[in-house]
Amino acid sequence: MPRKPNQEFRGLLKLLILNELENREATGYELIQRISNKVTKKPSPGSVYPILKEMAAAGVLNCREDGSKKLYSLSPKGKELLEKIYQTEKEAIFSKVKILKLAGVLNSEEAEYINTFISEKRMKWFRLYKLRDWIKFLDLLVKTVEIDPGFAERVIGEAIEKLKGFVESEGNSGIKTRNSGVKSKIEEVEEGD
């Protein structure tokens, strides 16, 4: 029997909550704000708080009170669950790549590239997904490519030049900022591509 859209949304919301709590605790309100910056539909308190209560009762989340606020974090069981989800997702992608290679849709080089991307570069993408409005940016980029691929290429080229200029000026200024690791991160991405 197919899942109802509401069930799918609840499942996605649970995964987003786990992902948001992977590195730091948050209140329900903070989770709503952080998730709404990454998806097109802002989750309502009426959908988030029952899920938090359910996940805490299942032992997936820890909940502690800080004054009038409830702070949620991943429990050891939650961390284990999130790791299993990541591993299962990875294995499913590897299986699909293997099938596509056997069917002749992908050649060996393409299959290897996808497997390497999934194994090594995935965490870089997760860092990007933590940026506010990253999903909205990707959505607009895809729509722009559908309308005018040349314009999208120019926008991407301009963005690359701007980022390179920023990285070079940060590297040459000698000023230590919290972004001082940006240059090495961009170089890692460029070397990996």
> What pLDDT is stored for residue 151 in this prediction?
94
Q: Which burial class, exposed, middle or buried, applies to 53 when counting CB atoms under 10 A from its CB (0-12, 13-18, 19+)?
A: middle
- For the chain, which domains are there? 5-77 (1.10.10.10)
Q: What whole-number distance in Å separates Cα of residue 68 and Cα of residue 52?
A: 16
Query: Which DSSP category does 118 fall into?
Result: I
Residue 74 sits at φ, ψ, to 5 deg, of -75, 135
pLDDT at 180: 43
Amino acid sitting at position 118: I
Q: Rounded to whole angstroms, how far apart are CA atoms 48 and 13?
A: 8
Looking up tokens 């903070």 gives 30
Digit-by-digit pLDDT tens for the chain (193 residues) are 555 557 777 888 998 999 899 888 999 999 999 888 777 778 999 999 999 999 999 999 999 999 999 999 999 999 999 889 888 888 898 999 999 999 999 999 999 988 888 877 666 766 676 676 777 888 888 899 999 999 999 999 999 899 888 888 877 654 444 444 444 444 444 455 4
One-letter amino acid of 43? P
Beta-sheet strands, E only, within the chain: 61-66, 69-74
